[in-house]
Amino acid sequence: MRTSFLILFLVLYSLAGPGIAPARAAGGPAILVVGDSLSAGYGLRPGQGWVSLLEGRLSAQGYEYRVVNASVSGETTVGGLERLPRALEKHRPAVVILELGANDGLRGLPVAELEANLESMIQLSRTAGAKVLLTGIRIPVNYGPRYAEQFFAVYGELAQRYKLSLVPFILEGIGVDETMFQADGIHPNPEAQAILLDNVWPALQPLLGH
């Protein structure tokens, strides 16, 4: 795995980001995105990130959903779990997209902790009446290949246990392509955002009921 992909995880952890930001005015059921800088749109202009592009695709295909982006650069599953109850109460989403874990991997946090936090978020979301889409992430092998394999396996295991829609690897198709990154060589650029959305869409669309 190339060096810039490893650096991506360093920046995902270190950067501070915005709080919850609606991508569309109120109206219609909500899709709540809880993620890190991959979903927060770090380094992009407003409207360029894949979450913003999702809003446009929903509208173009006749889905009357509003998109709420609760992603924060540097977020871990611990932080996501702490923030989720308030977001669920405030927005009452029909669908929750969980895009977290990269920063847990950077820290080398126990795989059991990653699994427990994601599992709690899944359970909270379902208790609130939301369908859940889980997006997986691969991490570098700097903590050893066994750790990386166990870490990645958590997403598939949780998806199977709870019968969730799953995006196996949200960066599929761009992780080894330098032209898909911003000038810093770290963050996916505007052109890559459509690929991220295309990775998410096949797993999301069946949850939209239309």
Active site residues: 37, 184, 187
For residues 166 and 159, is the Cβ–Cβ distance under 8 A?
yes
17-20 LR contacts (CB < 8 Å, sep 24+): 17/42, 17/71, 17/72, 17/73, 17/74, 17/75, 18/72, 19/70, 19/72, 20/68, 20/69, 20/70, 20/83, 20/87, 20/90, 20/91
b/e map of 156-168 (b: 16 or more CB within 10 Å)?
Answer: eebbeeeebbbbb
Backbone φ and ψ for 72, nearest 5 degrees, come out as -135, 125
Q: Token pair 């599953």 is at which residue?
A: 77
Which residues, other chains included, contact 84 with Cβ-Cβ below 8 Å and sequence gap of 6+? 34, 121, 124, 125
